[in-house]
Amino acid sequence: QVQLVESGGGLVQAGGSLRLSCAASGSIFSIVAMDWYRQTPTKQRELVASITSGGSTDYADSVKGRFTISRDNAKSTVYLQMNSLKPEDTAIFYCKFRTHRADGSRYDYWGQGTQVTVSS
């Protein structure tokens, strides 16, 4: 049974930094890409950053230049380095692994979420 375990959230002042981690336990046949999403009570879950198996990255416009996504394939772990944090970055952050199973079917795994709170 695969589980994604997130860590690194917390409370930080505006302008500060946090580093989120998301590690998979269990065996995954093939990881296609890894994503970070965030959600607030008043907004739909939004895609913040993505990294493919080939290392290509993509970011939401609101975080470009401030957030960096990276991965450690050997550890099945994805990271999100968040710098110059703003109060509007306050949200629950979720990781997602997009995978292929051995039969070729697609399956997405989600983390449980970690709270990030940025004070002004």
d(CA 55, CA 36): 15
Least confident of 15-24, 83-92, 100-109: 100-109
Condensed to tens digits (0 to 9), the pLDDT of residues 46-78 reads 999 999 999 999 999 999 999 999 999 889 999
What does the pLDDT read at residue 81? 98
What does the pLDDT read at residue 73? 87
d(CA 58, CA 64): 9
Residue ranges with strand state E in 8-113: 10-13, 18-25, 30-39, 46-52, 57-59, 67-72, 77-82, 91-100, 106-110
Alpha-carbon distances, residue 98 vs 43, 83, 88, 93 (angstroms): 23, 25, 27, 16
d(CA 105, CA 116): 33
pLDDT band at 19 (very low <50, low <70, confident <90, very high): very high
Indicate the residue type of 112. Q
List the structure tokens of 56.
């290509």
